[in-house]
Amino acid sequence: MFRQPLLACLVTATIAVSPTARAQMMKTPDATMPAKPPAKTVPSSKGEVHLSFAPVVKRAAPSVVNVYASHVEQRGTSRSAMDEFMRRFFGEQGSGRGRGMPGERAQKSLGSGVIVDESGLVITNNHVIDNMNEVRVSLSDRREFEATIVLRDPRTDLAVIKIKSPSGGLVPMPMGDSDALEVGDFVMAIGNPFGVGQTVTQGIVSALARTQVGSSDYQFFIQTDAAINPGNSGGALVDLQGQLVGINTAIFSQSGGSHGIGFAIPTSMVRAVVETAKGGATTVRRPWLGARVQSVSADIAESMGLDHPTGVLVASLQPKSPAEEAGLKRGDLILTVDDKVVDDPEAFGYRFALKGITGTAKFGILRGTTRSTVSIKLASAPETRPRDALKVRTRSPFLGATLVNTSPAVAEELQKDFASEGVAVSSVDEGSIAARAGLQIGDVIVAINGAPVTTTKDLERMTRASQGMWEVSINRGGEVLTSVFGG
C-alpha cells in the first residue's frame, strides 16, 4: 500500500438538479421543517454536460495548503565510516536523506493540508509530519508560514498543525457531512502531487465504508477514482458544495502512481480530531468498551436467523468494564451504534470511537431471537497502574523494544485483550535485536528463565544480569510461546 491522500471533485448545483427539482427549490420552505435536499439526477442536456467545475474550485482551493516538513538533526563530532566516506567523496551531507548544513542531517516530507479554522489550524495526515520537528505551510496565494504541531493522532493517521502568526486572509473550508455521501457522487481532490503545486482532479465516490485498507487503526474510508499521487496526502476531498468531506490518505498502487483507487478519511472522524485540537488537548481520548468483538460469518448469521452476515459478535468481556456494567453478554450480536448500522469490527470500532468520553451510546443488539437496546456509558479506559515505560538498552532479546505495564488503557491503545497484569511490548525498533528475535507489539512477557515477570522493573532487573542463555515465554493472543536465545 502506497499511502497517499485523495481529493474531492465538485460540480455546480445546476448539474445535479432537474427542472422539477429546481422549481421545488424556489418555493418558500416551511420554517418548522428542514429543507428537503433536491433529488440527484444525471445531466439532462448537452448544455448541462458542458458546465464547469471552476466555481467550486475557486471556492475550495484557497483552503488547501502545501505542507513541507523536515527533521533536522545536529550531528556530533564522532563520525561513522559511512559519514566519513560521504564527506570525503560527496561533500558534507552525511548519510541521511536530503542535504543540510554542515554538521546536520535532514529528512524531508512533502504533503498537503486543509485550513479548518480562521486561527490557522490545518488538518493533514500524521504520516506527513511523523518524526518531523520543523513544518512550513505554503498557501494557494504563495505566502509561506512556519507552523507548529498541535496534535498527532497516529491511530487515525491525522494531525493538526497551526500556522504561526498568520497575517490574515486565511480561508477555512467548511466541513460537509461524509455520512450523506453516496456511491456515484461527484468529488474533487485538491493537493500538491509530486510537489508540482496545487492540482485539482475529479472523479466520483466509487465505494464507501472501506475497512480493509490497513493505513490506520480506525478504517472506514471513502473510496474515490479521483487521481491521487505522492504529495496529495492530507489534501481535501470536496463535495459539490465546496465542503470538505474527507482527507486523502492512501492509494492502492503497485507502481507508486494513481490507478484510480484512492482512500480518504471521512469528515466524521476529522471533525472529532479538529474539535479536540480546538479544545486545547494534545491527544484524542476515545471511549472504552471493555469487550472484544468478532466478525459474523455466514454460518453464524444462519444460526441466528439472519438473512445475511451483519453486526459484530461479543466474544469476551473485561470485568468492571462499561460493557459488563451495561449488561452485555458473550454471544450478543451488536447491530447498531446510535442507529448507525455496523457490519464488521472495523465499522463498529469507527462508529464507537466517534462517540467521545461523555454521556452514553445506545447499542442495538440481538440476543437469541430478542432485539433490544443497551445503553453504554462513555468513558476512557482506566490506567489502573503506572505504565512505567522501559526502553531496553542492555544486550538481551529485548534490546530495541519498549515495554510497559499492562492496564485497560494500554490494552485499548495497543488494541489487544490482556487477560491479566503483566508487561507488554509497546514498540519494537526496526532492525533491532528484539525485532530479529520475533517480538511483536502486544506480546506480553510471561517469564524469563522460568522467573515470572509482572512489572517493567522486574524485566529491567533481569536484563541487567549477564545470561548465557535466555528462555523467554510470551503470551501472544492467548497462546503462550517459549523460545530460547543465546547470550
Given the residues 206, 233, 253, 321, select the one marked as catalytic. Answer: 233
CA angle (189 as vertex; 62, 281 as ends), nearest 5 = 65
Which entry of 63, 109, 112, 157 is annotated as an active-site residue?
157
**233 catalytic, yes or no?**
yes
Q: What is the bridge-based pairing of β-strands 360-367 and 370-377?
A: antiparallel
Side-chain-side CA neighbours of residue 436 (13 Å): 9
- Other CB atoms within a 10 A radius of the CB of residue 134 amount to 16
At 269, list the grid cell.
Answer: 472522524
> Who contacts 17 (Cβ-Cβ below 8 Å, separation ≥6)?
25, 38, 39, 41
| Cβ-proximal residues to 193 (8 Å cutoff; 6+ apart), any chain | 199, 228, 229, 230, 231, 232
Cα–Cα dist 90/268, whole Å: 49
What is the grid cell recorded at 57? Answer: 474550485
Determine contact, residues 139/197, Cβ cutoff 8 Å.
no
C-alpha cell at 106: 535532514
112/161 Cα distance (integer angstroms): 12
Please identify which of the residues 127, 153, 216, 344 carries the catalytic annotation.
127
- Distance, in Å, from the CA atom of 347 to the CA atom of 69, rounded to the nearest integer, reads 32
The secondary structure of residue 307, as a DSSP letter, is S
C-alpha span between 36 and 398 (Å, rounded)? 61
Q: How many residues does the chain have?
A: 487
For 20, left (φ over 0), alpha (ψ -120 to 50), or beta?
alpha
The most distant pair of C-alpha atoms in the chain lies apart, rounded to whole Å, by 85
* Residue 178 falls in the annotated catalytic set: no
Cα distance between residue 344 and residue 220, in whole Å? 10
Q: How far apart are CA 386 and CA 6, in angstroms?
A: 40
Question: Is the separation of the CB atoms in 301 and 335 below 8 Å?
Answer: no
Residue 401 dihedral angles phi and psi, to the nearest 5°: -105, 150
Catalytic residues: 127, 157, 233
